[in-house]
Amino acid sequence: MKHSKAFIITAGCLIITGVAAYLKATPDGNIPRDLRDAPISSEALEQLGDTARIKTGNLPTPIATDTNSGLLIPADILARAAALNNGKEPASLEKTLTLLYEAGDIVQDDVSIREGKGQLNKLNPRLLEFFTANYKPGAIVIIGAKDALGMLFRTGQMKLTADGRPSRWSHCFVFGDLKTVPEEEWGKPDKSPYIYESDLHMSFKDHRIHLNNGIQENWIGKWSTNKIEYAAIIDLGLTEEQKGIVFRTALESIAAHIRYSLRDNLGVLLAMIEGRQDKPNPFHGSHTAMFCSAFVRYCYEKAARDFFGPEISMFNTTPEDIARMGIKTGKIIYYQP
């Protein structure tokens, strides 16, 4: 009963987010503008990125539409931002969040991983060492975060696990090149793995809100913090040519500004509930938006190394599916805390 209740709560959160995005799409199926199918809800504003959270006492429930960005934002937040902006609605979502941050309505937990403010955001040297020691260009990495957003996605996959409990896995990506990390990020001259991923991330820098939505390249340190409970690497032994195709596909996706797709997550949830992951994702419109595991599979499919057949549609692929593939092939290496 406990797990069923948790699944229902997770399903409700994702359904509300997905339906809102779906309703914002035009009748011909175009992706909504700006953040496209990533509307901002009360929960998202609280949890997004872990570097900021709305104070619990200020969390509102009514939802309104920001006329400038077209996004769904809690009505009380819009009203508060307008009051801070001489009675006028701020000209952008970034301006809205910046006003709230400067007024103290948003709490900054950390500025960077290196500063390590906030226990969950502190760099975990052993995890970073695991990623570095087992780095293989183009290999798949799966992780399980224990923060609220990570647990939401892990709980949403419990229909796929053998014991009906939440999945260990919440996110996945592929290894990119080894690069020298900027000193302000790590403070060391050594080269470290970079990754290609699809993610929706919000951070603070120079007292401004920065939204990074879609396919992107990041230092592995982003996912080498104390909030990561599980981690594993799946090396399927790509050829040099296949590695090059995976890299090129990722870089082309970045250049094409492909976004992270929350709407597709709703479709995956429905597919898991109804046991029809082999069918097309009903909420997927085009390749202009992908969530993390669909992006990983897309890269491999382009390299002629698709690790699933018709039993799982590409845009119904989950991190749990990829983990089970790694187990089945015997190509998975686990992080041991």
Q: Which helix (H) or strand (E) holds 208?
A: strand 208-219
Sign of the CA dihedral running 32, 35, 38, 39: negative
**In angstroms, what is the C-alpha Rg of the chain?**
20
What confidence category does residue 101 fall into, taking pLDDT thresholds of 50, 70 and 90? low
Query: Of the ranges 12-16, 81-85, 105-109, which is most confident?
Result: 81-85
Smallest Cα–Cα separation from 69: which of 263, 213, 285? 213
Question: Are 218 and 110 in contact, with CB atoms under 8 Å apart?
Answer: no
Give the Cα separation of 266 and 263 in Å (integer): 5
pTM of the model: 0.69
Give the Cα separation of 164 and 1 in Å (integer): 11
pLDDT digits (tens, 9 = 90+) for 38-72: 333 344 333 333 333 333 333 333 334 444 544 44
Question: Are 96 and 77 in contact, with CB atoms under 8 Å apart?
Answer: yes
Tally of CB atoms within 10 A around 150:
22
Smallest Cα–Cα separation from 6: which of 166, 224, 143? 166
What's the pLDDT score for residue 87? 86
Give the Cα separation of 14 and 18 in Å (integer): 6
Q: Which domains does the chain have, with CATH numbers?
A: 2-108 (no CATH), 119-334 (3.90.1720)
What is the SS3 assignment for 250? helix
One-letter amino acid at 53 equals R
Q: Is the pLDDT of residue 37 over 70?
A: no
What is the SS3 assignment for 116? coil
As given in the structure block, the two tokens for residue 186 are 């790590």
Q: Is the pLDDT of residue 107 over 70?
A: no
Block residue for tokens 């997770």: 10
179 beta partners: 192
CA distance between the termini of the chain: 31
Q: What percent of the chain has pLDDT over 70?
A: 64
What is the SS3 assignment for 139? coil
Give the Cα separation of 93 and 107 in Å (integer): 17
One-letter amino acid at 331 equals K
As given in the structure block, the two tokens for residue 250 are 């990722």
Smallest Cα–Cα separation from 132: which of 200, 197, 224, 196? 224
- Opening angle at CA 209, ends 208 and 213, nearest 5: 145
Give the Cα separation of 259 and 278 in Å (integer): 23
pLDDT digits (tens, 9 = 90+) for 229-250: 999 999 999 999 999 999 999 9
Question: Are 54 and 45 in contact, with CB atoms under 8 Å apart?
Answer: yes
